[in-house]
Amino acid sequence: MRHSLRETWSGLRRNLAMTIAVIVTMAVSLTLLGAGFLTAMEVNVAKADLYQKIEISVYLCTESTQGGQCEEGKGTTDAQREQIQATLEANPEVSTVTYQSKEQAFEEFQRVFANSSAAASRTVDDMQDSFTVSLVNPENYAGVVSEAKGLTGVQNVQDLHSVLDPMFNWLSTLQWVTLVMSGLLLFAGALQIANTIRMAAFSRRREIGIMRLVGASNIYILLPFLLESLVAGLIGIIIAAVALTAGFWFIIVQNAQPSLSALAWIGWSHLGAAIVGTALVGVALAVIPTLVATRKYLKI
C-alpha cells in the first residue's frame, strides 16, 4: 500500500496541470449536474403542491351572459343545473363537486373587495352561480374541462392549468438544458481523465514491464492510477458539494423562500440527495475511464 500511495503522489505531481484541469472540469460539470437534479426536484415538489390546490370553476349562464352553452337572454334552469352536477359527479376523475349560489358568490365578492370601490359596483343579479370541482388527480384535468364546456347551461370553465403548464414546461426545459450541459462537461472530464492516465501509463511503461516480469498482480499495478483519478474526482466532488450547498443557501433559503412563501420549496434532504447523486456520478466518472485506459495501454 505504501508503494501505491507513493506512486500516486508522484503521478499527481508529474501531471499537475492535467490534474487541475480534471478537477476544475469535474467540479463545474458535477455542480451543473447537481443543479439539474435540484431543478427537477423543485419542479416535482412545486407541481405536486400547486396541482393539489387547483380546482376547476364551472360558471353557469345568467340572462345577461353570452357564450359557452348559453341561450341568449336565458339563464341556466334548475333542471340543467341538476344535470350538470350529476354529470360532473359521475366523472371518475372528479373527487368533489361544490355548488355556489349567486348569493354566496356575492358575499365572497363583498369580502374580497371590502376595502375597494368595486364592492358597490355589483349586485346579486350580476353574480354567476357555479360549481367548484376538485379532481382525484389534478394533472388529469383536460377531460373534465372538455366535458364541462360541452354541457348545456355552462357559460365558462376556468382553471389555472393554462398558466401553470407553460411555467412547468419552461422549468422542465431549463432542467434538461442543465443536464445536457453537465453531461457534455462530464464527457469532457472523462476524456481528460483517460488522457491523464494514458500519459501516466506511458511514462511508467518500463516500471510496469518490470512489475509484470516479477509477477505483480493487475490490482497492484492499477491501484496507483485508480487512486490518482479518485483523488482528482473526490476534490471535484467536494468543490461541487460546497458550491451546491452555497447556492441552495443563498438562492433558495435566503431569497426564494421568503419572497415566494406560498410556493412549496425543496429542503435540505433534497440537497443531500442531489449531493449523493453527484458524488456517485463523480466516483463512476473517475473509475470507469481509468479502467478503460489502463486495460488498453498497460498490456506490457
Same domain (yes/no): 63, 204: no
Name the residue among 281, 291, 285, 280 with its Cα closest to residue 197. Answer: 291
pLDDT at residue 117 in the model: 65
How far is the first Cα of the chain from the last one, in angstroms, to the nearest whole number?
A: 22
pLDDT at residue 3 in the model: 44
Name the residue among 137, 161, 159 with its Cα closest to residue 148. Answer: 159
Same domain (yes/no): 117, 72: yes
Measure Cα distances from 254 to 239, 243, 247 in Å.
21, 15, 10
Same domain (yes/no): 17, 61: no
Domain harbouring 126, CATH code: 3.30.70.3040
Evaluate whether 266 touches 45 at the Cβ level (below 8 Å). yes
Same domain (yes/no): 171, 293: yes
pLDDT at residue 187 in the model: 78
Considering 125, 143, 159, which residue would you say is the last residue of a domain? 159
Same domain (yes/no): 175, 279: yes
What's the number of domains the chain is made of? 2
Same domain (yes/no): 145, 248: no
**Residue ranges of the chain whose pLDDT lies below 50:** 3-5, 8, 300
Amino acid at 119: A
Evaluate whether 100 touches 131 at the Cβ level (below 8 Å). yes
Same domain (yes/no): 93, 177: no
Same domain (yes/no): 267, 192: yes
Same domain (yes/no): 100, 190: no
Considering 159, 190, 223, which residue would you say is the last residue of a domain? 159
pLDDT at residue 223 in the model: 64
pLDDT at residue 4 in the model: 46
Considering 127, 142, 159, which residue would you say is the last residue of a domain? 159
Same domain (yes/no): 174, 286: yes
Same domain (yes/no): 174, 270: yes
The grid coordinates listed for 187 are 464527457
Same domain (yes/no): 123, 227: no
For 282, the domain range is 2-50+164-297
